[in-house]
Amino acid sequence: MKTIILVEDEKILSDVVSDVLTDAGYKVFVAGTGEECFKIIETTKPDLAILDIRLPDMSGLKVLKEIRHKFTDVPIIMCTAYDSYKTDYEIWASKVADYIVKPVDLDALREKIRKVFEGGDPKRARILIVEDEVLIVDTLKSILVNERFDVVGICNTADTAVAKTRELQPALILMDFILIGKKTGVDAYNEIRDFTSTPVIFISASEKETVIKNIDKKKNVDFMDKPVDVDELIRRINDFLKEKRNSRTGKIY
């Protein structure tokens, strides 16, 4: 039986979620504070933690970082009101398995838990987002995490995109054409191509032809218009990643 620790100080919510997960066949431990959470994790070694971002004794983000420090392998689903871009960014930087927004959709929560436990490839594809619009960043992160990709970095300038690509070595980059500063996404792409062939998907409101004509090396690159078609984006990402895996194993389809 899989064990889950639910860290939530709202008793009505914690009772409802605990009952639902117990009925689904999980063993559930409930903590109302960060300190209670640490004690339970140390003694029970749960298979999953569901963690509220706001707790009475400390922030959920602090609890998250402490769990990551002491129990690095515990998957974590964050429960958040999603009201702060800064907090949201720090959540993803701590590599959570997924997140759910309050008020909690119980069916969605069950599905997210199922995906965590079913797993798949533990070495999830690492994706870098290069985008200057906060709302689009939020949307892309939600899409990618829901599909079990690992968002390893977020940046909004060309120079940072190049530096992060060198540092993080992502499997794929989602790139906007218009970025903060004088340089564009194409400038970043051309510099990145000097040292890696990492696939890049441009997601932009700019004309595709405008982007294409300024690209030096048209290799492992694709283009999508805003607003993005979610299903099509995931299909293209998976196509690139499949092609990359096949090239490593020498398989040709």
pLDDT in tens, 52-106: 988 999 888 888 888 878 776 788 898 877 554 344 555 555 567 777 888 888 9
Query: Considering its fold, how many domains does the chain have in total?
Result: 2
| pLDDT on residue 101 | 82
Name the average pLDDT for the chain: 84
Question: Of 97, 118, 139, which residue constitutes the final position of a domain?
Answer: 118
User: β-pairing, 76-80 with 98-101?
Assistant: parallel
Q: What is the CATH number of the domain that holds 153?
A: 3.40.50.2300
Range of the domain at 143: 126-249
How distant is the alpha carbon of residue 55 from its chain centre? 23
| Structure tokens, 217 | 């090396």
**What Å distances lie between residue 151 and 13, 18, 57, 130, 145, CA to CA?**
29, 29, 29, 11, 7
**Which two structure tokens, joined as six digits, stand for 167?**
């540092």
For residue 173, is it left (φ>0), alpha (ψ between -120 and 50) or beta?
A: beta
Q: Compute the distance between CA of residue 237 and CA of residue 22 in angstroms, rounded to an integer.
A: 36
Q: Is the pTM higher than 0.95?
A: no
* 8-state DSSP, 124: P
Answer yes or no: do 100 and 16 share one domain. yes
Same structural domain, 86 and 18: yes
Sheet of 221-225, strand order: 150-155, 126-130, 172-175, 200-204, 221-225
Please determine, for residue 122, whether its predicted confidence score (pLDDT) is greater than 60: no
pLDDT, one tens digit per residue, over 132-154 is 998 889 888 888 887 878 888 89
DSSP state of 195: T
Find out whether 175 and 161 touch, Cβ atoms under 8 Å: yes
Q: Looking at the predicted structure, is the pLDDT value of residue 127 above 90?
A: yes
First to last CA, the chain: 41
Residue 125: helix, strand or coil by DSSP? coil
User: CB-side exposure of 193: number of CA atoms within 13 Å?
Assistant: 15
pLDDT at 123 over 60: no
Same domain, 149 and 71: no
Q: How many residues does the chain have?
A: 253
Residue 84 structure tokens: 């702060």
- Whether residues 18 and 91 fall in one domain: yes
